[in-house]
Structures are given as structure tokens and as C-alpha cells.
Amino acid sequence: MKKLIFIAVAAILFASCDRSGRGHLTGVLDRPDAFYADPPGMVFIPMGSFIMGPSDEDIAYAHNAISKTISMPAFYMDETEITNNQYRQFVFWVRDSLAHSLLATIDENHLIEEDQYGNLLDPPLINWRARIRWDGEEERDVLSELYLPEHERFFNRREIDSRKLIYRYYTIDLTRAARRSERNTPRSELVYEYQTPVYPDTLAWIHDFTYSYNEPMTQKYFWHPTYDHYPVVGVNWLQARAFTIWRTQFLNSYLASRERPFAMDFSLPSEAQWEYAARGGLDLNPYPWGGPYIRNQDGCFLANFKPLRGNYIDDGGYQTVIVGHYPPNDYGLYDMAGNVAEWTRNAYDESFYVFGHDMNPDYQYEARPDDPETLKRKVIRGGSWKDVGFFLQVSTRAYEFQDTAKSYIGFRCIQTYPGRDRNDGRGASNVY
């Protein structure tokens, strides 16, 4: 009997060794599929190098950029600017998460308090499958906290108080963590919490242009279905960053529910990523479509900006226009010049091109509320519907303050490509 037991144990051990490579080094087996699909609505930007900086005369004598060869890894970029309807999904998500939290006080079905193994979750997760009743009497009483008080209502309409739509999120300061002096710093001190109001500043249409009748845009631009596919504006840099973090978490929650590996983070593009993508693989070109002209062979303008001596409608637009209205560049990216200027993730410094690395340069500074205004400058690129042709050039640098929202600034996201480069032309996975 003992001999049989010994033989059985030996067989089990042998089988175990066989599955792990007969005792040889094999690495961890049964790892998830490594192929990566193209994110919907994004285009692949291959790795490469380019000359970053002025492609033409420095007409403004800004002296804030020099020509420099830069090498870039591969990444994805949104083919258009984020639209009103896409950003509205973020706003609704924040609204519904607040509603779920309030309704949980009268109905426990709105929260998930235990994981699949029976362990208590602290804090509980929102149960997104629970139906939000906005019209029930008891529910109306609980949700009244989200609505405008009666004395602030317009024509007695019951509307959500946009000031209460605040997104709470966290970031980790990896740059600080990498410093030798911070090696023994507790991890909790490297994690920062933010609470960012997410609703766009619709009044930007009025306060940006004194003595111009833009009240209809203030009232309708973010909400009317006509403008669903127009670029979102009135979003400051902090809100744009919050959107990228929400977008990452939103996707990863879906992937986790299907036991798939997390996706690479979404973020705002760096200056270098934006310029590299805007050039579309055409080196030294002044505009995304090449150059040096801003009209095609039929005499039509190639972007939405302020042409000639202020004839705004001569390019086919008046203010913003629907995204993708003008032809894309050679990477398939639309509106990299004109329509709306775009936030990047970089802080603005006139000398950045001098001290920045030549390998995917990046300069970030987390400005505090009490910092001087100069430390709150963030780079914007691409020019907008209200700008002259100089700002359409892919090398033109400009800035705006991170806590200000404008009717001519929007944004788009990038996502780092995991790996070296893509050779087959298409992703081969069903990650999404």
C-alpha cells in the first residue's frame, strides 16, 4: 500500500514538473493574450523621429522654440477632438454616481458591499445595474439635493445643479517617487486626491467676447442635439485631465469585469506627441496637410480659423464646426489645425526646448492653488476658429492658464501603445 502511495505522489510531482518545463526556466505560464486592439475612435501613430520646432520664420519673434530632432514611441490619438456628446457621457456618469450614492440611503441595491468572494468592500462599489428612478416620490425627495433650489430655478424648471457635479479621483506622483531622497517616503504621501467640477463653463462664450451676441451659444451649445458632434469647449485643463482619468477607469472597469488585463492609461498628449502627430509624417511641414499654403487647389480653405482680414465665414464656418469637417492629415487625424485649440499635458516654459530631453520630451508641473500665475500656464496647440493663420502652424506654441476655460479651447486624448511598434497594420485582439 505504501509503495502505491509513493508511486502516486511521484507521478503527481513529475506531472507538475512537466507542466512547468521539466524543471527548466519557462517564466509564468498561462499569461493573458498580449495582442492589443485599436481603441475605437483612435488612430495609430507609429514610432519615429522628427524635427520638432519652427518650420518657418518666427513671425511673432516669440523665441520660445528651437529646431531639435526628437524620437517618439508609438501611441494612439483620438482622430477628432472630444465632442460635446462624448464629454456629456462623463458628466452623466458623475451625475449618476452621485444619484446612486444618495439613493443607497433608502435602497441598498444601489451599492455592492461584498465582492464575489464575500469580502466586505470599504468603501462599497456602485451597482450600475440598479435602476435610478428619478420620478418616484421617495426618490425625488432624496435626489432633491442634486437639483437647483427653488429660488434659483429659471421658469420653475427642475434642473440638476451643475455646481454639484464634482468628480473625485487620485493620481500618483511617480516623478517624486523616483527621486533618491523619496525612496523611503510612504506610498500614501505620493498619492494625491482631487475634486474637480466637471460641468463646462458655458458662459465662456460671453466672457471671452465682450460686446458680441453669444448668448445663444451659451444657452444651447453644450446641450442642443445640433451640437452633439461639435468639439466641447469651456473645459479647463484640470477638467480635461479629469476626463482622461475617468476614461481610463471606465475602460478598466469593463476589462476587469471580463478578467482581461488593464489597458494603458489615457492622457492628454505632450507637446512633442501633439506636434509629431500633427505633422502626419511630413517632416518640416508648416501645416498638418503639408504646406506652405492654407488653401487647396480649388481655392478652399483647409481649416476653420480667422482668414483674411477677419472674414470668419470665408472658410465655411463661423465659430466652431462639426469635427472632421475638413480633410485629415496623413495619419488620419482631423482638425489638428483650427476649429479649437487643444490642451496638452505640459506646463509652459519658454526654455523647455533647450532643457527637454530628445527622447519623448515631457515637462509637467503640478501647480498648487496658491502658486504664482506663471506656474499655472499649460501649453495649447493648433489654433482655433478665432485665430489667424500663424496659430495653425504645427510648431506654434501658445499657453493658457490651467484653471481658465475658453470657448475656443478643447482637447483630445492619447494612449501609449504597449510594445515597440505595430507591423501588421491592425490590432489582433478583442480587448475592447
pLDDT computed for residue 118 by the predictor: 79
The cell for 33 is 493574450
Distance in angstroms (rounded) separating the CA atoms of residues 137 and 139: 5
DSSP three-state, residue 230? coil
How confident is the model over 10-30, as pLDDT tens digits? 444 444 445 557 888 988 888
DSSP three-state, residue 211? coil
Helix locations, 314-423, DSSP H = 352-355
How confident is the model over 87-120, as pLDDT tens digits? 999 999 999 999 999 999 999 899 988 877 778 8
pLDDT class of 209 with cuts at 50, 70, 90: very high
**Burial of 228: CB neighbours in 10 Å, binned 0-12, 13-18, 19+:** middle
Q: Is the pLDDT of residue 372 over 90?
A: yes
Q: Which of 376, 292, 302 minimizes the C-alpha distance to 338?
A: 302
End-to-end CA distance of the chain: 55
Q: Which of 254, 228, 247, 264 minimizes the C-alpha distance to 94?
A: 247
Average pLDDT of the chain is 89
How confident is the model over 230-282, as pLDDT tens digits? 999 999 999 999 999 999 999 999 998 888 889 999 999 999 999 999 999 99
Backbone angles phi, psi at 140, to 5 degrees: -60, -40
CB atoms within 10 A of CB 326: 23
Distance in angstroms (rounded) separating the CA atoms of residues 159 and 155: 11
Pairing of strands 341-347, 409-410: parallel
pLDDT computed for residue 338 by the predictor: 96
Distance in angstroms (rounded) separating the CA atoms of residues 292 and 151: 57
pLDDT class of 76 with cuts at 50, 70, 90: very high
Q: Domains of the chain, with CATH numbers?
A: 36-83+230-432 (3.90.1580.10)
Beta-carbon-side half-sphere exposure of residue 354 (alpha carbons within 13 Å): 5
The cell for 288 is 498638418
